[in-house]
Structure 1
Amino acid sequence: MRVTVVPVDNVIIVDGDLRKPTAATYPSDVHAIQWYGSAGTIEYTNGPQKTISDEVAMGVYIALHAAAKERDEAPQPPYVPITKEQRIAQVLATQGKGKDRTLIQQVISFAEMVAAPLLATQYGVTLELAIMGIYARNKTYRECKDAEAEIRTIEVEP
């Protein structure tokens, strides 16, 4: 069994199958571990390589690889389309806390509501600013500033 572990990339490769485990911890001074079935080498970031023959230690990485493979190959839930109302509720629940849903509905369309969280994440801005960027395409500067001020001040009643 051929195993390669690259801690800096959080990668474990077993017999050519690359996986990225979610709960792996690695020694901080290791650049890579190469395993050739019964022996291998540890490549350190600052120092000489070391020959290893500890199959138990490699078993940990093989188990992490197996868990990542199981996770990656698990069946995905079927796609279920959602309504505009459901998507607005999702956005408000995750990113638009405290904002008035009717104002957000008025400002942007359903397609834009789907895109706003992606744009916010991509450009590292708040959801409100992403919405304003979308809204601004067809509005004047003054209309955008007025809408932005309104979005930032309206709070949902508890």
Structure 2
Amino acid sequence: MHTVTVVPADKLIICDGVALFFDFQAPDGLHALQWRDDAGHTEWTGGPNRPLTVEDYDEQVAPYVALWRKEKTRREEMAAEEAAARALPDAKEAKIAEVLSGYDAALAASLTMPAAMPTSQDVAVGAALFAVEDAEGLTYVQSRHAARRDELLAAVEAAGTVDAVRAVVVSYDV
């Protein structure tokens, strides 16, 4: 059996420690119902408390447990639907961030080779030197990385499922 608390005025049913607030029907004047293990009581606004025994469970307590279960299931299904609806946009957002980060890393690596951990200053100096020494080559490298970035972004945008988004492999020629 369950531990149950019902407070109709607060639209509250607590079952085994999990509280749910929702609309439900209760007898007029019922202030609260308490049940633990194999006994409980009802509290009435216009009258004395009444004890509940195991024999009362099916009629007095079980209907509230059933209402609580139905509401809990409804909320879980709604949460699952919302999570499923957010899964694809969230996957795309994460993959786009990966594509853009990859682009930045590829461009930095192309401008600062052979530095393993180039700083922003290294990138700026590398770009300036590259532009001076081989402006056409710099334009080629930039356009090549940008084309790959745009290709990856288009693949992410076209993906219709989370698996299709995950299948987009972020790689750049460096």
TM-score (norm 1): 0.46
Higher helix share: 2
Larger Rg: 2
TM-score (norm 2): 0.42
